[in-house]
Amino acid sequence: MTRTSHDLHFNRRALLAGLGATLVAPTALFAQVPTNPDVVVIGAGAAGLAATRSLMGAGHSVALIEGSGRIGGRAYTETSTFGVPYDVGAHWLHNDSSNPFNRYGRDNRFTIYEARDEYRVFDGSTEVSESDQNALWRTWDSMYDAIGTAADRGQDISVAKATERVTGPWAATAGFGIGPWAMAKDLDGFSTTDWWNTPDGDDWFCEEGFGALLAHWAQGIPVSLDTKATKVDWSGDGVSVETTKGTIQAKAVVVTVSTGVLAAGDIDFVPALPADKVESFSAISMGTYDHIALQFSHDIFDMGKDGYLMFKIGDDGKGFGVLSNAGGHGIAYCDVGGSWADELERQPIEARVDYALSTLRNMLGSDIDSSFVKGTATSWGQNPWTLGSYASAEPGAYRMRGTLRQSIGDRIFFAGEACHRSLWSTVAGAHLSGQDVARDVADEI
Ligand SMILES: Cc1cc2nc3c(=O)[nH]c(=O)nc-3n(C[C@H](O)[C@H](O)[C@H](O)COP(=O)(O)OP(=O)(O)OC[C@H]3O[C@@H](n4cnc5c(N)ncnc54)[C@H](O)[C@@H]3O)c2cc1C
């Protein structure tokens, strides 16, 4: 099996700050929220933006409302923290061939390039030789095989259960790579079948930031920011969407908020949605994946841009994987996931930065301190607009993906990363699901 960065990061499956900032072209802001459009789209992430553009392109009037003060949702690049592009959410352009942003970026003079496949691996403070890394990769392959075997047999069980016979000194590290680092969950929190039903493909990067790329694509789409949907009343004809800026009447609504937000009941549906629909919100549950981003003045990892660093993880599963010197901008994404990420979110950002820096110091030596500029960390699990990072099916719950996608009463439609048939948990999947739902809506109204 050829090992690619995709395998490792996501499974089987220089620009200066000023330029990065100018690439983030503004969307058009509504002076007032439209009160009587054909369709209300809730959420201006990748899915809501795509749904809006497709519906408008088909001649429908749309009110796109966004609760927070910006577009992009979980795909957002900012330059203010480090003075260079920093992807606060999505960074990898997964699944090259089916990722529409790959082509879009190249056509629009973004710097789009393929992810390299270079790793440094440590066991404590000792670097593991390249040949000894094979023990890790073999363990990884054994886990893949075990998950695939279970899925092929139709066993929708937890990945922890499917891989329990894979043991050895690198099992916890491989498990970290397949679970927290890729799926934002511990191995007992997601389904073999779900994991197996997403396609393979190589990873690419956008040097200016994935969020900047999405924002560029979205320029000109009209949106009402700071407009939170609180209630969807579908008791009469059409829908009535209550927001923090007034009520909007429409023929249909497209809901693109995360399953975390849906499961928390942040939007009140009246009458209540069917029980299986409500169940699907928590069955396709959110995992937590966070960046602890450290900026260094030079390449302390000595791998050029975009190398990967891993270290042996103990049975407690606590650790992180590193994308070093991302885009050549000097930022290391030290990424945590699953229950360890949840635990870290309860600590102050400074403590998380210290944790990542001291772990790296143990491997790379105290010289790194003189190159350290600053650090920050995300808290996507606590972010009220997402309540998690991305979703996957709980063990045994793969069938609930279909339920999540279903429309209700021919006027409440659902889109977003979790609704895509195969590219779930990605920006591309969210975007394509927005386009798909627009076709469904147009057929009904
Ligand atoms: C740290 C992190 C790393 C990731 N890495 C990658 C990666 O490398 N590659 C990749 O492809 N994907 C990655 N992902 C996943 C990817 O970012 C998401 O799958 C995708 O951006 C989701 O888009 P969406 O439109 O479905 O949802 P969102 O982006 O969540 O959009 C939904 C919008 O709804 C808004 N909203 C919520 N509630 C309300 C309300 N009541 N009223 C109005 N608006 C509301 C939110 O503010 C948000 O803007 C990552 C995610 C995270 C968090």
Count of C-beta atoms within a 10 Å radius of residue 346: 10
Q: What's the confidence (pLDDT) of residue 96? A: 80
- Tell me the pLDDT tens digit for each residue of 272-292: 999 999 999 999 999 999 999
Residue 10 has pLDDT above 70, yes or no: no
pLDDT-based confidence at residue 21 (cuts at 50, 70, 90): very low
Is the beta carbon of 430 within 6 A of some atom in ligand 1? Answer: yes
Ligand 1, atom 31: closest residue by C-alpha: 45
Is the beta carbon of 390 within 6 A of some atom in ligand 1? Answer: yes
Q: Rg of the chain's alpha carbons, rounded to an integer?
A: 22
* Nearest residue to 52 via CA among 314, 435, 360, 418: 435
Is the beta carbon of 44 within 6 A of some atom in ligand 1? Answer: yes
Residue 28 has pLDDT above 90, yes or no: no
Q: What's the confidence (pLDDT) of residue 97? A: 77
137 Cα–ligand 1 center, Å: 31
427 Cα–ligand 1 center, Å: 8
- Tell me the pLDDT tens digit for each residue of 375-415: 999 999 999 999 999 999 999 999 999 999 999 999 999 99
Ligand 1, atom 7: closest residue by C-alpha: 90
Q: What's the confidence (pLDDT) of residue 198? A: 87
pLDDT-based confidence at residue 128 (cuts at 50, 70, 90): very high
Ligand 1, atom 30: closest residue by C-alpha: 73
Is the beta carbon of 324 within 6 A of some atom in ligand 1? Answer: no
The answer to whether 32-72+218-285+390-444 and 116-198+289-377 have equal CATH topology is no
Q: Which residues contact 67 (CB under 8 A, 6 or more apart)?
A: 43, 226, 227, 228, 229, 244, 385
Q: Are 63 and 37 in contact (CB under 8 A)?
A: yes
* Nearest residue to 313 via CA among 168, 182, 185, 117: 168
415 Cα–ligand 1 center, Å: 11
Q: Are 208 and 111 in contact (CB under 8 A)?
A: yes
Ligand 1, atom 27: closest residue by C-alpha: 45
Which whole number is the average pLDDT over 348-354?
98
Ligand 1, atom 37: closest residue by C-alpha: 385
Q: Which residues contact 402 (CB under 8 A, 6 or more apart)?
A: none
**Shortest-distance atom of ligand 1 to CA 429:** 19
Find the distance separating the first CA and the last CA of the chain, reported in whole Å.
49
Is the beta carbon of 204 within 6 A of some atom in ligand 1? Answer: no
Distance separating alpha carbons of residues 177 and 160, to the nearest angstrom: 13
271 Cα–ligand 1 center, Å: 27
Q: Are 98 and 201 in contact (CB under 8 A)?
A: yes
Q: What's the confidence (pLDDT) of residue 115? A: 95
Distances (CA, A) of 116 to 250, 327, 423: 47, 11, 22
pLDDT-based confidence at residue 199 (cuts at 50, 70, 90): confident
pLDDT-based confidence at residue 12 (cuts at 50, 70, 90): very low
Ligand 1, atom 13: closest residue by C-alpha: 90
* Nearest residue to 209 via CA among 320, 119, 291, 311: 291
390 Cα–ligand 1 center, Å: 7
Half-sphere exposure in the Cβ direction for 243 (13 Å, CA): 28
116-198+289-377 domain in CATH 3.90.1150.10?
Answer: no
Q: What's the confidence (pLDDT) of residue 186? A: 98
Ligand 1, atom 29: closest residue by C-alpha: 73
User: Which residue bears the tokens 């993906």?
Assistant: 401
- Tokens matching residue 128: 């593991």
Q: What's the confidence (pLDDT) of residue 296? A: 98
Residue 182 has pLDDT above 80, yes or no: yes
Structural domain 32-72+218-285+390-444, CATH architecture: 3-Layer(bba) Sandwich (3.50)
The lowest-confidence range among 19-33, 133-147, 343-357 is 19-33
Ligand 1, atom 11: closest residue by C-alpha: 426
Boundaries of every domain in the chain? 32-72+218-285+390-444, 116-198+289-377
Pocket test for ligand 1, best of 5, 286, 385 (most atoms within 8 A of CB): 385
**Shortest-distance atom of ligand 1 to CA 227:** 43
- Tell me the pLDDT tens digit for each residue of 242-270: 999 999 999 999 999 999 999 999 999 99
pLDDT-based confidence at residue 14 (cuts at 50, 70, 90): very low
pTM for this one?
0.94
3-state secondary structure the chain: CCCCHHHHHHCCCCCCHHHHHHHCCCCEECCCCCCCCCEEEECCEHHHHHHHHHHHHCCCCEEEECCCCCCECCCCEECCCCCCCEECCCCCECCHHHCHHHHHHHHCCCCEEECCCCEEEEECCEECCCCCHHHHHHHHHHHHHHHHHHHHCCCCCEHHHHCCCCCCCCHHHHHHHHCHHHHCCCHHHCEHHHHHCCCCCCCEEECCCHHHHHHHHCCCCEEECCCCEEEEECCCCCEEEEECCEEEEECEEEECCCHHHHHCCCCEEECCCCHHHHHHHHHEEEECEEEEEEEECCCCCCCCCCEEEEECCCCCCCCCEEEEEECCCCEEEEEEEHHHHHHHHCCCHHHHHHHHHHHHHHHHCCCHHHHEEEEEECCCCCCCCCCCCEEEECCCCCCHHHHHHCCECCCEEECCHHHCCCCCCCHHHHHHHHHHHHHHHHHHC
My answer on whether omega of the bond before 271 falls inside 30° of 0, hence cis, is: yes
Residue 340 has pLDDT above 70, yes or no: yes
User: Which residue bears the tokens 């790296």?
Assistant: 360
Q: What's the confidence (pLDDT) of residue 31? A: 59
Q: What's the confidence (pLDDT) of residue 169? A: 94
Is the beta carbon of 140 within 6 A of some atom in ligand 1? Answer: no
- Tokens matching residue 166: 């894979």
- Tell me the pLDDT tens digit for each residue of 78-122: 999 999 999 999 999 998 878 999 999 999 999 999 999 899 999
What are residue 372's DSSP bridge partners? 296
Pocket test for ligand 1, best of 257, 379, 405, 435 (most atoms within 8 A of CB): 257
**Shortest-distance atom of ligand 1 to CA 434:** 25
Ligand 1, atom 1: closest residue by C-alpha: 89
